Structure 1
Amino acid sequence: MGTKLPIAAGRVSILIPSYLRADDLRNTLRYTMAQSYGDKEIIVVDDGTPNSTILDAVKEFPGAIYLRTPQNLGLIGARNYGAAHCTGEFILNLDDDSWLEDENGVEAIVTFMRNHPSTGVAALNIRLVERGYLWPVDSESCQLRTYKGCGNVYRREAIVAAGEYITEFCRQGEEVERSLRIIDAGFEIRSAPGVRIFHALSPINRNGPRHMAFEAVNYLRRELIRAPLWLLPVGCFRALRFAVRHRNDMDRKVYFSELLGKRVPLLTFVRRHRAPVRTLTYFTALQLRS
């Protein structure tokens, strides 16, 4: 991601990638447009939906910015594409089926980031219908190992320092890998329990076994490129253990296709991205809450 964008101090860019979920997107935009904070931009990235449904949905909300990727990039690629067009000091990342529950949510985000200047990423308090919130809403902020993609806020400097998501991951596990780079760059990842997000978990374009297969393969990819050399065997063992533990939850055909490098040759991937984090970073991340 380049650093030559006209960055506006205090502005919050709200970035929403979308693919096929026009009705879900309408709900998200309805809540997002109602945010009371003044200096915000709302950017929807249509990730190559093969019709005009996403564009039609965005047109219903004057002021929202519509972008379309040149081809279907996948969720990770769409996030990178959108972030490159954001002009805010802070970037609020939402899924097209997640939204802030409180009308002053964006204002609370800015206050939180100002009060925690070493925070590179704020992990917001996500609520699922059957599980409730991640943390009690009145609990104290704490350092975390990573964050969830459907509700987080980036400080611009953290993106510049850590770099973009790795698009070869395609989906799943990209936040954990990027978190290592963010921590290694000297930033913290902190919970923001008072900023509440509802995640509707749309069934459209959601395939649990396929997603778990990517989660397992990307665990291995992450260890291969980020683990310090002397800890590489340990990291690979942990990735293998994860895959065995979740073998009945995943699409094994997708797992072995990815593992064998049919889409992304593993050796090429490692050569391109191998840049281990410091040993201190690696152990710090292991000790933090996920």
Structure 2
Amino acid sequence: MTADSPSTVGRISILIPSYLRADDLRQTLRRTVAQSYSNKEIIVVDDGTPNSAIMDAVTEFHDVVYLRTPQNLGLIGARNYGAAHCTGEFILNLDDDSWLEDDDGIELIIEFMRNHPETGVAALNIQLLNQGYLWPVDSESKQIRTYKGCGNVYRRDAIIAAGDYITEFYRQGEEVERSLRIMDAGFQIRTAPSVRVFHAQSPINRNRPRHMAFEAVNYLRRELVRAPLWLIPIGCLRAFRFAFRHRKDMDRKVYFSELFGKRVPLLTFIRRYRAPVATSTYFAALALRS
């Protein structure tokens, strides 16, 4: 990504990775195309779906850009792939089963980002089926530790400063790790309670035990590459405690395969990504709510 040019200022890119969930994607696109803000681009990244279902869904909507990854990269790789093609000053990240509830949602996003120039990532107010929102809609914005992938907005400058997601994570935990880098670059992660997102949580391609295994192993990876040297033992202890606490919720075969397997050799991973954040950043993140 390059710095803003006059053509990108005020534009918002809406990035939607998708894999297998064509019908869910149609619902998301219907709501997204209906957004009243005009200076927008909508980009769908087909993460190697083994048929034309995602492409067929996208062709039903005028001016939606279709991209296809060269192979299945996982959700994180698909987000990176799509972000490289975004031209907006801001990037709205949605899942293929989440959408802005209000037709003027993008106007609310632009207003929020303009009023909070210190914000690198705005965490949007997500509602799950038959559940409430994360925060009261009329509450004040506050600084938090991280955000959820199904509804957030990046300032372009924050991506340039912090860099891409770590693709080896494959899925789960990528937001927390990148949040550390964003904070270390001088940006904040803040709630945007007035911007409402509905997350349908499609059952397709959703395997909670497998996802929890990735969450646990990526927790450890994050601590090994981002914790200041003298805090690595404490960070690893926290990661193993998380894994132990969720041992009944995770696919332990996946956990140990990821931890000791050949897909991501741990020492190679550490050598490639080890770049600790400042101690002040590390403690500031711990002090914030997620």
TM range, smaller chain: over 0.9
- AA partner of residue 80 (structure 1): N
Could you say which residue in structure 2 is the equivalent of 1:20? 20
1:141-195: CA deviation from partner (whole Å, max 9, x where unpaired)? 0000000000000000000000000000000000000000000000000000000
Query: More deviation in 103-112 or 4-13?
Result: 4-13
Please give the alpha-carbon distance, in whole angstroms, between the structure 1 residues aligned to 2:166 and 2:269.
Answer: 10
- Residues 4, 89 of structure 2: 8 Å contact kept: no
Could you say which residue in structure 2 is the equivalent of 1:146? 146
Q: Which runs of 5+ in 2 are unaligned?
A: none
Please give the alpha-carbon distance, in whole angstroms, between the structure 2 residues aligned to 1:156 and 1:213.
Answer: 31
> Within 5 Å, which residues of 2 pair with 1:82-101?
82-101=82-101
Please give the alpha-carbon distance, in whole angstroms, between the structure 1 residues aligned to 2:261 and 2:51.
Answer: 31
Using the TM superposition, give the Cα deviation of residue 261 of structure 1 relative to its aligned residue in structure 2, in angstroms.
2.9
> Within 5 Å, which residues of 2 pair with 1:148-227?
148-227=148-227
Q: Secondary structure at the match of 2:89?
A: strand
- Residues 123, 151 of structure 2: 8 Å contact kept: yes
Please give the alpha-carbon distance, in whole angstroms, between the structure 1 residues aligned to 2:192 and 2:4.
Answer: 27
Q: Secondary structure at the match of 1:88?
A: coil
The RMSD of aligned alpha carbons is 0.9
Using the TM superposition, give the Cα deviation of residue 5 of structure 1 relative to its aligned residue in structure 2, in angstroms.
8.1
Could you say which residue in structure 1 is the equivalent of 2:2? 3
- Residues 90, 155 of structure 2: 8 Å contact kept: yes
Q: Which runs of 5+ in 1 are unaligned?
A: none
Could you say which residue in structure 2 is the equivalent of 1:110? 110
Please give the alpha-carbon distance, in whole angstroms, between the structure 1 residues aligned to 2:2 and 2:219.
Answer: 29
Using the TM superposition, give the Cα deviation of residue 4 of structure 1 relative to its aligned residue in structure 2, in angstroms.
6.6
Q: Secondary structure at the match of 1:165?
A: coil
Could you say which residue in structure 2 is the equivalent of 1:269? 269
- Residues 3, 157 of structure 2: 8 Å contact kept: no
Number of matched residues? 289
Could you say which residue in structure 2 is the equivalent of 1:76? 76
TM-score normalized with structure 1 length: 0.98
Using the TM superposition, give the Cα deviation of residue 129 of structure 1 relative to its aligned residue in structure 2, in angstroms.
1.2
Could you say which residue in structure 2 is the equivalent of 1:41? 41
Please give the alpha-carbon distance, in whole angstroms, between the structure 2 residues aligned to 1:40 and 1:242.
Answer: 40
Using the TM superposition, give the Cα deviation of residue 234 of structure 1 relative to its aligned residue in structure 2, in angstroms.
0.3
Structure 1 residue 248 and structure 2 residue 224: aligned?
no
- AA partner of residue 132 (structure 1): G
1:106-154: CA deviation from partner (whole Å, max 9, x where unpaired)? 0100000000000000000000013210001011000000000000000
Could you say which residue in structure 2 is the equivalent of 1:53? 53
1:80-126: CA deviation from partner (whole Å, max 9, x where unpaired)? 00000000000000000000000000010000000000000000000
In the TM superposition, structure 1's runs of 4+ consecutive aligned residues that sit over 6 Å from their partners are none
Please give the alpha-carbon distance, in whole angstroms, between the structure 2 residues aligned to 1:130 and 1:179.
Answer: 29
Could you say which residue in structure 1 is the equivalent of 2:258? 258
Please give the alpha-carbon distance, in whole angstroms, between the structure 2 residues aligned to 1:175 and 1:4.
Answer: 23
- Residues 129, 200 of structure 2: 8 Å contact kept: yes
Q: Secondary structure at the match of 1:10?
A: coil
